[in-house]
Structure 1
Amino acid sequence: MAPTATSVRNNEGIANYTKFWQKDSKDDTATDMANRLSEYTSVVNGYYDGATDLYEYGWGQNFHFARYYPGEAFMQAIARHEHYLAHQMSLKPKMRVLDVGCGVGGPAREIARFADVNIVGLNNNEYQIQRARRYTEKAGLSGQVEFVKGDFMKLAEQFGENSFDAVYAIEATCHAPNFEGIYGEIQKVLKPGGIFGVYEWCMTDAWDPTNPEHKRIAHGIEIGDGIPEMRSIKNARNALKSVGFEIEHEEDLADRGDKIPWYYPIAGSLKDCQTVWDYFTVARMTKIGRATTQTAVKLLETLRLVPQGTHSVGASLVTAADALVDGGRTKLFTPMMLFVCRKPASK
């Protein structure tokens, strides 16, 4: 019998996910950090095995943030954010494009339609891969979008060098143990002259890792989002250059001064909703909405209808939401540091 999507989840990994962090940032040690970095696949898989269903319930199939305009619906903004990246990368029809850390494939399907490109989505989480394939078949895009399981720190080993016309990553490479490693692998699989576009999760230049409050925010984002280590914009920029990329454009899109903040949905800010349907999404993020969801998850866990540990992962999502909002309000964190880079053409 073929395994079901549910059976491929690692229940032990979900249950043990939070062991990689101390609850209080003051107690988190260099040893804890080293363990997270060396065991990054266990950290990330444990997180997404438990969080994927909660993400889809609360957010949809596109696991990322966006900027919002007055009068613009939530899902419209999510799609526009993906279109903007594709536009900045100048994607052309029939290009072969790699989506690094593709989730359940929402952005891959949207960008495939928008730019008429062929996309390979890479993910190291089998549960998400199976869901991505099912959604893509239902959308009639199986001939244009495919998904493969693999470690994004071993791209060249899996695909070979000079294999893709373009590569993008949307809020995914922050899960890597270091930026140099993941960016270096992306550079290898790009064809000479190929383009790489990324929305990176970074701490901004205002962040001081020795400041206890700043450390608390970064720690909350890490434990709540399955990230081994939060890093700075400078770290990302230097890593891109060190592996040989030429940065053609960079901008922190969260610093545009938008009237509606990027974090309004996870802040449960109903006053910023732009359409009736947005209320259904944002209401789940209010204190009452979070409590209701967690109560339901606890019941499902008790009945063994979801893996043990799902409730704890859900609690970590609440921690993440609070830390992300704090990071956004203080401008210490951005989920949309845009870099558009090119691999030098062969001489």
Structure 2
Amino acid sequence: MPRSVPPATTRTTTSATGTVSPLLPRPCSVGGRLARLSDMCPPHTIHCGGERILTCRAATERGHTRYNPARYLPAYREARGMDAKVAKRSLGNLTQEEVKSVVDDYVGLHDAGVERKKEHYRQLVNHYYDLVTDFYEWGWGTSFHFAPRRQGESFKASQIRHQHFLADKLSLRPGMQVLDAGCGVGGPMGNLARYSGASFVGVNNNAYQIERAKVHTRDVEALCRFIKSDYMKIPRSDDHYDGAISIEAMPHAPDKTAAYGEIFRLLRPGAGFACYDWCLTDAFDPSNTEHVRIREGIMTGSALPDIAGTTEVCEAVRAAGFELLEARDLAPDSDPETPWYRALQGRDFSLASIPRTPLGRALTNLILRIAEGLRLAPQGAREVSTFLNWGADTLVEGGRTGIFTPMFFFLARKPLPRGN
């Protein structure tokens, strides 16, 4: 029997678009599932906005959740018996000789306009993540996404709560097969496998990120598998999965309807799709030069062919065949003193947060400039840091002006056949 998303029977909510939509029930017996998972990975407790969350200590103790810059030096790799090809890498899967060429290709694609970026989106996105994954792990850990924050809540705790929100919306539980479209380096997928007990298949078209994801999900490898594929065309049969998620990965899609349509094809009838997408809000004015500048900075800093509006996303979900159950921007859910972009402003000072702050980004840029001059870093590394900094600055501006959100949430369902 195909698994279906249970219909809501107890409560409803009104979305930002005015639609009254059912909420899927929260999974039951979460504690019991986590207790069984703890046999594989001893958990510890963190407090997340009043919630107790069990997380995995073993991966942290093994050093897999933090970036170690030394491991990208050939001498470090060779001393530890790493193969010659791996030892020559300097950023992602790139050698020192390849970095500058890939940077030039990436910048050239962004200068070519929206249509050319959409035409070459695979190259654009792969180049981007080959260049920036190491920078992201250094600054963000294993979860490359934002989250609405509560008063007194840490950035990491807000990310975990944001991830669990999707699991609860889909009522994920052991035995379910769930697709993660654009899984990054596996941080959210691993957290959700630990939290729900469901099995996940992560789709990512970047080979280096899949390597990293396998490391970050080692403690739950029985629940996490990966496919190297473009999420616009996933090599799986129709009606294959019991649910799907996508966390800030769909902004890279050149065609929203086609991207959502591929998810629709792969889901079993009645299955749900929960997604966070990047969007321009209704406050964006295309005739305002400042708004346009901010949009362009976000696009260049994040390898986006374009940025859709919230209405466009909702229309694309329906055009793909889904029932749209809920759609709203979660950014206003943040505490006013702790907006989602606070992590990029340097207002949460700690040793772990330094790489995300303006000061930390400036220091990284300066160090890379010196290292390039001394040939200790590949030519082009500082340019990568520069466009990431530009992207970070414009993300903050987009949030402060209210013209952009990285957390437009929607919950959709593949309809059951008529008569069921």
- What TM-score results when the alignment is normalised by the length of structure 2? 0.74
Partner of residue 230, structure 1 = 307
TM alignment of 1:123-272, pairs within 5 A: 123-137=204-218, 140-155=219-234, 158-256=235-333, 258-259=335-336, 260-269=338-347
2:203 paired residue among 112, 122, 125: 122
SS in structure 1 of the partner of residue 340 of structure 2: coil
CA separation of 1:305 and 1:172: change in aligned 2, threshold 3 A: farther
Shift of 1:288: 2.5
SS in structure 1 of the partner of residue 275 of structure 2: strand
Shift of 1:314: 1.3
2:118 paired residue among 34, 37, 48: 37
CA separation of 1:219 and 1:345: change in aligned 2, threshold 3 A: same
**For 2:200 and 2:402, how far apart are their aligned partners in 1?**
34
The one-letter code matched in structure 1 to 2:142 is Q
State the aligned residue count.
Answer: 328
The one-letter code matched in structure 2 to 1:87 is D
Shift of 1:267: 1.5
**For 2:229 and 2:210, how far apart are their aligned partners in 1?**
10
The one-letter code matched in structure 2 to 1:60 is G
Partner of residue 17, structure 1 = 106
CA separation of 1:305 and 1:50: change in aligned 2, threshold 3 A: farther
**For 2:361 and 2:135, how far apart are their aligned partners in 1?**
11
8 Å CA contact 1:13, 1:42 repeated in 2? no
CA separation of 1:256 and 1:83: change in aligned 2, threshold 3 A: same
Q: Structure 2 regions of 5+ residues with no counterpart? A: 1-82
Identity of aligned residues (%): 41
8 Å CA contact 2:149, 2:334 repeated in 1? no
CA separation of 1:154 and 1:70: change in aligned 2, threshold 3 A: same
SS in structure 2 of the partner of residue 280 of structure 1: coil
Moved more, 192-201 or 283-292: 283-292
Deviations 1:271-306 (A, max 9, x none): xx3xxxx52243333332111111223344456665
**For 1:77 and 1:207, how far apart are their aligned partners in 2?**
26
Shift of 1:13: 2.5
8 Å CA contact 2:279, 2:408 repeated in 1? yes
- What TM-score results when the alignment is normalised by the length of structure 1? 0.89
CA separation of 1:121 and 1:2: change in aligned 2, threshold 3 A: farther
SS in structure 1 of the partner of residue 145 of structure 2: coil
8 Å CA contact 2:299, 2:305 repeated in 1? yes
CA separation of 1:305 and 1:45: change in aligned 2, threshold 3 A: farther
2:181 paired residue among 89, 100, 106: 100
**For 2:271 and 2:84, how far apart are their aligned partners in 1?**
38
8 Å CA contact 1:266, 1:325 repeated in 2? yes
Deviations 1:161-197 (A, max 9, x none): 1111111000001001021110011110111111100
TM alignment of 1:67-82, pairs within 5 A: 67-82=148-163
**For 1:303 and 1:208, how far apart are their aligned partners in 2?**
45
1:4 paired residue among 86, 111, 135: 86
CA separation of 1:125 and 1:80: change in aligned 2, threshold 3 A: same
Deviations 1:239-269 (A, max 9, x none): 0001111011111100225221000011222
CA separation of 1:211 and 1:99: change in aligned 2, threshold 3 A: same
Partner of residue 27, structure 1 = none
**For 2:271 and 2:232, how far apart are their aligned partners in 1?**
19
TM alignment of 1:237-316, pairs within 5 A: 237-256=314-333, 258-259=335-336, 260-269=338-347, 273=348, 279-302=350-373, 307-316=378-387
8 Å CA contact 1:65, 1:262 repeated in 2? yes
Shift of 1:89: 1.9
CA separation of 1:150 and 1:296: change in aligned 2, threshold 3 A: same
- 1:55 matched to 2:136? The reply is yes
SS in structure 2 of the partner of residue 177 of structure 1: coil
Q: Structure 1 regions of 5+ residues with no counterpart? A: 23-30
**For 2:352 and 2:298, how far apart are their aligned partners in 1?**
21
Aligned-pair RMSD on alpha carbons?
1.9
SS in structure 1 of the partner of residue 278 of structure 2: strand
Partner of residue 322, structure 1 = 393
Shift of 1:64: 0.1
SS in structure 2 of the partner of residue 346 of structure 1: coil
2:413 paired residue among 326, 335, 342: 342
8 Å CA contact 2:190, 2:216 repeated in 1? no
Larger Rg: 2
CA separation of 1:72 and 1:90: change in aligned 2, threshold 3 A: same
**For 1:306 and 1:89, how far apart are their aligned partners in 2?**
45
8 Å CA contact 1:222, 1:228 repeated in 2? yes
CA separation of 1:302 and 1:117: change in aligned 2, threshold 3 A: farther
Shift of 1:21: 2.5
